[in-house]
Amino acid sequence: MTNDPSRLVLVASNRGPVSFGHAEDGALSSRRGGGGMVSGLTSGLAAIAADGGVLWVCTALSDADREAVRQGARADGGPGDAPVRMLDIPPAVFDAAYNRVSNSVLWFVNHMLFDTPGQPRFDSAFRKDWAGYEAYNEAFAEALAAESGKDTHVLVQDYHLALVPRMLRDRRPDARIAHFQHTPWAPPEYFRMLPDDVAVRLLEGMLGADHAGFLAGRWAEAFLDCCEAVLGARVARREDAAGPVPGPDGYVAGRVTHRGHVTEVAVHPLGVDVAGLRSRAAQDDVQAHVRTLREQARDRQLIVRVDRTELSKNILRGLAAYAELLATRPEWRGRVTHLAFAYPSRSGLASYRAYTEQVTKLAREVNEEFGTDDWDPVVLEVKDDYARSLAACTVADVLLINPIRDGMNLVAEEGPILSASGCALVLSREAGAASLFGEHALTVNPYDVSETAEALHAGLSMPAGERRRRSDAITRAASAREPRRWLAEQVDALR
C-alpha cells in the first residue's frame, strides 16, 4: 500500500476479491473470490494498484472469513496482490442489511419486481431491518474514514452501500468519493414506493459522492428524475452540464446540487476483457466441456442461456418462448436443443427457492410435452460450473438473454465473443447492454413471449455469415469498454 494517501484508492463492496477457508490441517487459507462485479473491478484496478496503491474493504461473509479477521490474518488477494480489509459485521446486522433490505427491498425496487397486491409492506419489522442497513453502512464509513487521508479516492460499490458516501463525507470532507450503481434505477413513481424518509436517505446518501456512475443512460436519467422529484434538488441535465451527447461511450448525464454539494452523474457502460476471456476459454477444462456439449448436441443447433435463477433474469418466460417455438414451428422439433444453465441464487430467500423450483418444473414439462426417446428439448443444469458456462457460450448458435431489467448483463457480451462460429443474440431491450450494441442483437420485449419465440426462430434461421458479422460487431463494442477503461474514467473524474 502506498505511503501517500492522496495516491491511495479505497474500494468498498459487500463481496471482496478473496475469501478464506480451512486447509486439511485446519489452517486458514485464502483464495480469490468470484462474481461479475469483483471480476470487473479486479481487472480494472490492476494498473491503479501498481501506480499508487489500492486497499479493498469488504465484508467477512463466512465463518472462516470472520475467524481470519479475529486472528488478524492478512489477505493479499486484491488486484496486484493489494491488501484486503474484511469487516466482521455481526450476523444479525448483516442479515438485515443484505438479505432483508438490500436483496428483498432495494433490488426489487430498482428492478421493478414487486408483486404489488402483496408486497412491499413497510412495517415495524422493516424498520428494524432498516436500522441494520444503516448500521452496516456506518461500519463501512468508519473503516473507510480510518483509512483515508486528504484527497484519498474512494470507490463505493452498489446498492448495499448507498448510504456510505454521505456518511463518509461527514467524517472526511476532504476525501474524493465515487459511487457506482451496478443495477438499474427505478423511475420516481416506482421509487416512491419506499417510505419517504428511506427514499430521501438513499438519495442523499449517494449524493454524498462527487461522482455517481451508472451502466446505462436510462438508469442515470431515472436517478436524476428521482433527485428532482423526491428531494427537490437542483438538476442540470446533459445539455447544460457540459457533457457530450449520449452514446455507447462514457458521458456526463447531469449534475445534482443538494445541501451545498455538487454530484456529477455519469454513464460508464462496462465491457469485457476480450483477450483474458478467450484465454480462459482456451484452457483444457473448458475445451473438455466443449467437446462433451458438441457430442451431446448431435449436430442439432443450440439455444444457450447462462444465468442465475434470479427473479429479474426472466428464465420462466424464456422457457415459455422456447415451448411456443416448438409448438408453432414444428420444423424445429428434434433439430434444436435448449441448454439452460440456471444456477441457484440467494437460496436464503424463500422467493428465490420457489423460483428455482418453478424453473425446474417448467423445463420438465417442456421435455414431457415435446421430447422423444432420442431428444430432450431442454437440458437444464442447476449446478454452477464456470468452465461449462464458457463452453456453452463457445458452442451457442443462439444466445437467449431476456431479463425483465438488468444493469448491464455481461453474458450478452461474453457469448458472442466466445462463439466459435458466431451466434445470434436474442436480447431484452431492458438490459443495459441493449444501449451498447442493441442494433446487432435481435431485441425483444421481455414480457412478450410470442415475440421472443419469433426472435428465437429468426436466430436459428439466420445465415452463418450474418451471425458472424453480428458477433464481431458486439465483440468490438465490448472490447472498447474493457474494465480498465471503465474504471479509469471514474478515477479520472475524481482527480
For the chain, give the longest Cα–Cα distance: 70
Instruction: Report the C-alpha gap between 191 and 188 in whole angstroms.
Output: 5
* CB atoms closer than 10 angstroms to residue 170: 11
Residue type, 87: L
Per-residue pLDDT tens over the stretch 68-88: 788 776 566 566 567 889 999
C-alpha cell at 27: 489452517
Q: Among 159, 174, 267, which Cα is nearest to 205's? A: 159
Backbone angles phi, psi at 49, to 5 degrees: -60, -40
Mean pLDDT score across all residues of the chain: 90
Sites in the chain below the pLDDT cut of 70? 1-7, 28-40, 43-44, 47, 49-52, 73-81, 239-249
pLDDT for position 219: 96
Instruction: Report the C-alpha gap between 10 and 45 in whole angstroms.
Output: 10
Instruction: Report the C-alpha gap between 16 and 24 in whole angstroms.
Output: 24
pLDDT for position 14: 94
pLDDT for position 484: 86
pLDDT for position 83: 84
* CB atoms closer than 10 angstroms to residue 259: 11
Per the omega criterion (within 30 degrees of 0), is the bond before 120 cis? yes
Based on C-alpha coordinates, what's the Rg of the chain?
A: 23
pLDDT for position 120: 96
Q: Among 169, 171, 137, 176, which Cα is nearest to 57's? A: 137
Rounded alpha-carbon distances, angstroms, from residue 382 to 19, 308, 388: 23, 9, 12
pLDDT for position 242: 47
Instruction: Report the C-alpha gap between 9 and 226 in whole angstroms.
Output: 29
User: Strand 261-267 to strand 251-258: parallel, antiparallel, or no bridges (unpaired)?
Assistant: antiparallel
479 sits in which H/E element: helix 464-479
